[in-house]
């Protein structure tokens, strides 16, 4: 059976149930008096009391400052827009930030009793998912660029210590294979696979592709406390070490034949302190500005995943990076 406008009848109770099921909030705006009315869902969505006089200007004050002017201009412009419109913006409700989608029909021709009518939808979950996808895409792009730079750097490094094309091919293949094993540690395994690893072993595996001798008796030295790194923290720590090594291979001590890297550590109260010390590379120049994506990725990972802090000391001989990590977070 096919429903048509003539035989489909919707009662007010059916409409209310459909609106509630969809999470829709209804609103009206008097374009002359600026009075704003909403249904119960609307007041809950904005976190305001239903009693009292509410105006569009009052609601505008709750819009995120970065979106406020844009939304005000857009709402004013809807009176001249023919057809439907949709505006997404953020609101501040206490300590929470919510994403709202306002939808309606534009132009003064559809105004009844000088009131425009439309709906609000809470689209916070969708926006958070989109932001997560954008963050992931940016991170993956950054890693791919780093891998290409690493491959180029490893090729130059291997050419310095090779006596023949066959020798270079063998060394480079070993280093790229080690890089593949190290890169596996920079991503979480599906289904919670894997167990805790020793801190020293984890760092050693990650730095193996960058060692000229591939035996850790030469330019790279690792001396850290004997402690376990939990499955949850291993990915974050691996990403940090991988990023620092990449930067060193591009700009620091690992980019020079005579450069050295020393990774040492100690336990101070409830913290594990790791010192990343580079020497013998190009002359160090203190970076200017806020830093690129890699710097932001490091800071976010150290603070968010490992509950720690990250500091730099740009000495003339090489970079000194200090990681102070929560021991309990590292072991979990």
DSSP for 224-287 reads ----EE-HHHHHHHHHHHHHHHHHHHHHSGGGSTT-EEEEEEEEETTEEEEEEEEESSSPP---
Contact 12, 20 (CB under 8 A): no
Domain covering 128-331 in this structure, CATH number? 3.30.565.10
CA pair distance 326, 306, nearest whole angstrom: 6
| Secondary element (H or E) of residue 182 | helix 165-184
Count CB-CB contacts under 10 A for residue 324.
16
Measured over the CA atoms of residue 218, residue 219, residue 223 and residue 227, the dihedral's sign is negative
In the chain, CATH 3.30.450.20 sits at: 13-122
- Ordered strands of the 83-93 beta sheet: 36-38, 24-30, 115-122, 96-106, 83-93
Domain with CATH 3.30.565.10 in the chain: 128-331
List the chain pLDDT tens, one digit each, 332 residues: 454 555 456 677 777 777 777 778 888 888 778 888 888 888 888 888 777 778 888 888 888 888 888 888 877 776 666 667 788 888 887 777 888 888 877 665 556 667 777 888 888 888 877 777 776 677 677 666 666 666 676 676 667 656 788 877 776 776 666 566 655 665 544 444 445 678 888 888 888 877 755 434 468 899 999 888 877 777 778 778 877 887 888 888 988 888 899 999 999 999 999 999 999 888 887 877 666 656 776 787 788 878 899 999 988 888 899 999 999 888 87
Overall pTM surpassing 0.95 (yes/no): no
Tell me if 297 sits within 8 A of 239, measured CB to CB. Answer: yes
pLDDT of residue 268: 92
Q: Which of 152, 172, 174 is nearest to 161 (CA)?
A: 172
Coil/strand/helix, residue 205? helix
Give how far the C-alpha of residue 298 lies from the chain's centroid of Cα atoms, to the nearest Å: 11
pLDDT of the residue at 1: 42
- Taking alpha carbons only, the member of 123, 78, 117 closest to residue 100 is 123
DSSP 11-72: -HHHHHHHHHHHTEEEEEEETTT-BEEE-HHHHHHHT--SSS--BHHHHHTTB-HHHHHHHH
pLDDT at 231 (0 to 100): 72
Give me Rg for the CA atoms of the chain: 29
Please tell us whether the domain made up of 13-122 is placed in CATH 2.40.30.10: no
Q: Which two tokens stand for residue 70?
A: 């844009």
């Amino acid at each position: 059976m096919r429903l048509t406008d003539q035989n489909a009848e919707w009662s007010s109770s059916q409409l209310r149930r459909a609106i509630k099921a969809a999470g829709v909030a209804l609103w009206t705006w008097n374009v002359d008096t600026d009075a704003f009315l909403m249904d119960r869902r609307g007041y809950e969505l904005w976190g305001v009391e239903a009693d009292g006089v509410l105006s569009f200007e009052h609601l505008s004050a709750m819009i995120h400052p970065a979106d406020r002017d844009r939304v005000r201009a857009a709402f004013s412009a809807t009176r001249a827009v023919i057809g439907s419109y949709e505006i997404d913006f953020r609101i501040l409700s206490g300590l929470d930030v919510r994403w709202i989608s306002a939808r309606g029909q534009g132009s003064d021709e559809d105004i009844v009793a000088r009131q425009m009518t439309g709906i609000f939808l809470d689209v916070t979950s969708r926006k958070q998912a989109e932001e997560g996808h954008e963050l992931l895409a940016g991170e993956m792009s950054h890693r791919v660029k780093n891998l290409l730079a690493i491959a180029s750097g490893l090729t130059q490094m291997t050419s310095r210590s090779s006596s023949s094309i066959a020798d270079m091919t063998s060394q480079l293949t070993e280093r790229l294979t080690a890089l593949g094993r190290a890169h596996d540690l920079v991503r979480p395994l599906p289904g919670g696979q894997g167990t805790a690893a020793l801190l020293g072993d984890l760092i050693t595996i990650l730095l193996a592709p960058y060692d000229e001798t591939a035996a850790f008796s030469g330019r790279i030295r690792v001396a850290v406390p004997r402690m376990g790194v939990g499955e949850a923290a291993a990915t974050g720590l691996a990403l940090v070490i991988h990023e620092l090594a990449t930067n060193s291979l591009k700009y620091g001590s690992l980019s020079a034949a005579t450069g050295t890297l020393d990774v040492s550590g100690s336990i101070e109260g409830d913290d594990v302190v790791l010192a990343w010390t580079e020497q013998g590379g190009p002359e160090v120049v203190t970076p200017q500005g806020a830093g690129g994506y890699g710097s932001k990725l490091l800071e976010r990972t150290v603070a968010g995943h490992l509950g720690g802090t990250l500091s730099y000391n740009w000495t003339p001989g090489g970079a000194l990076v200090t990681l102070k990590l929560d021991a309990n977070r590292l072991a979990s």
